[in-house]
């Protein structure tokens, strides 16, 4: 099928909704008719892989053809193992979603070098912002990019040098508060300044909703509302957040295809 488009979810800090966002992105793209594969590099937590395992079990139990991505959890934890897994998944995939561990990891760094779209989810706080850049304690102005931002910059430079391809780095603001606050405004301003200096895009991600934790045991997503039973306005609002997030990622359409809309299930 040619070279797949690699979407790599990476953040060295845990608790940012990275794996949940990666699963929802993979399933949303599959629901839109794309051939999607997933690779979980976090062999300790395995949240991404377990989520899709739960989804496969639910598909078998219900006998329903829900949108699905084939997937692997990386077994051989080195660059050769990463390349081998990608080779297997690439046979029938136009998009590969890779979920990296929430820590610095040599295999994760190798995966970042393969990214066409690099997604860094972060919670809307200065604690998470510190991963990308440091701010002045009084003015909240950016003083310098962080080590992680420099790492991503160097990775993007290496990729451009070796392949001539650019990397679309997207910072995803997860768990945005729905009430405007001074902290929200200050974090947003600092992110905008860093985006200009370091070269990433900022888009809204998924809000803080209990529903995401409730979906995990069955491997369902917000695109499976018809299978969730009782559905409220919060589910509908969350599904719209998901659709806007995936649209904001701006994943290129397949060659000779027009962009497919995200399927509205339920």
Reported as a single tens digit per residue, the pLDDT across 196-212 is: 888 889 898 887 667 77
List Cα–Cα distances, 45 to 35, 64, 185, 248, in angstroms.
Answer: 25, 28, 33, 28
Which has more pLDDT, 171 or 227?
171
pLDDT, residue 260, reads: 45
Q: What is the DSSP letter of 195?
A: I
Tokens of 11: 């953040």
Q: Supply the pTM of this predicted model.
A: 0.87
H or E element in which residue 83 lies: helix 79-89
pLDDT, residue 178, reads: 54
Q: Which stretch of 37-41, 81-85, 92-96, 129-133 has the lowest confidence by average pLDDT?
A: 129-133
Q: How far apart are CA 225 and CA 207, in angstroms?
A: 17
What is the average per-residue pLDDT within 101-123? Answer: 89
pLDDT, residue 6, reads: 95
The band of 261, judged by pLDDT with boundaries at 50, 70 and 90, is: very low
User: Cβ distance 41 to 105 under 8 Å?
Assistant: yes
Residue 195 clears pLDDT 60, i.e. is over it: yes
What is the three-class DSSP state of 163?
A: helix
The band of 177, judged by pLDDT with boundaries at 50, 70 and 90, is: low
pLDDT, residue 175, reads: 67
Phi, psi of 170 (to 5 degrees): -120, 125
Q: How far apart are CA 44 and CA 52, in angstroms?
A: 16
What is the three-class DSSP state of 172?
A: strand
What is the average per-residue pLDDT within 255-262? Answer: 48
CB-based burial, 11-34: b 16+ in 10 Å, e otherwise? bbbeebbbbbbbbbbbbbbbbbeb
pLDDT, residue 1, reads: 53
Q: What is the DSSP letter of 205?
A: -
Q: Sign of torsion, CA 108 153 12 262?
A: negative
Q: Which stretch of 1-15, 39-53, 103-117 has the lowest confidence by average pLDDT?
A: 1-15
Going across the sheet that includes 168-174, the strands are: 70-73, 36-40, 95-99, 5-9, 117-123, 168-174, 201-204
List Cα–Cα distances, 159 to 114, 142, 243, in angstroms.
Answer: 7, 27, 29
Torsion of CA 20, 219, 103, 42, to 10 degrees: -150
For each of the domains in the chain, give its residue range(s) and CATH number, in order of start.
5-249 (3.40.50.300)
pLDDT, residue 181, reads: 65
* Helix-strand-coil split of the chain, %, nearest 5: 45, 15, 40
Q: Rounded mean pLDDT of the chain?
A: 84
Tens of pLDDT, residue by residue over 247-256, are 999 999 876 4
Tens of pLDDT, residue by residue over 21-63, are 999 999 999 999 999 999 999 988 899 999 999 999 999 998 8
């Amino acid at each position: 099928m040619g070279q797949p488009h690699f979407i790599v979810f990476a953040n060295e800090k845990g608790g940012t909704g990275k794996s949940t966002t990666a699963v929802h992105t993979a399933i949303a793209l599959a629901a839109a008719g794309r051939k999607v594969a997933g690779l979980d590099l976090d062999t300790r937590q395995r949240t991404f892989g377990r989520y899709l395992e739960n989804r496969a079990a639910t598909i078998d139990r219900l006998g329903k053809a829900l949108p699905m991505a084939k997937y692997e959890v990386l077994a051989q934890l080195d660059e050769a193992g990463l390349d081998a897994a990608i080779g297997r998944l690439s046979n029938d995939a136009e998009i590969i979603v890779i979920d990296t561990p929430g820590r610095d990891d040599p295999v994760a760094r190798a995966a970042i070098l393969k990214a066409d779209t690099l997604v860094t989810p972060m919670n809307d706080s200065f604690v998470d912002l510190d991963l990308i850049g440091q701010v002045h304690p009084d003015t909240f102005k950016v003083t310098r990019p962080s080590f992680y931002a420099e790492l991503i910059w160097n990775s993007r430079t290496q990729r451009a040098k070796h392949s001539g391809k650019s990397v679309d780095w997207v910072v995803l603001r997860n768990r945005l508060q729905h009430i405007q606050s001074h902290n929200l405004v200050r974090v947003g301003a600092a992110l905008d300044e860093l985006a200009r200096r370091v070269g990433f895009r900022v888009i809204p991600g998924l809000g803080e909703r209990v529903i995401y934790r409730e979906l995990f045991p069955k491997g369902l997503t917000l695109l499976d509302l018809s299978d969730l039973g009782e559905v409220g306005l919060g589910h509908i609002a969350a599904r719209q957040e998901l659709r806007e997030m995936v649209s904001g990622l701006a994943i290129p359409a397949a060659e000779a295809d027009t962009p497919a809309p995200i399927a509205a299930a339920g």
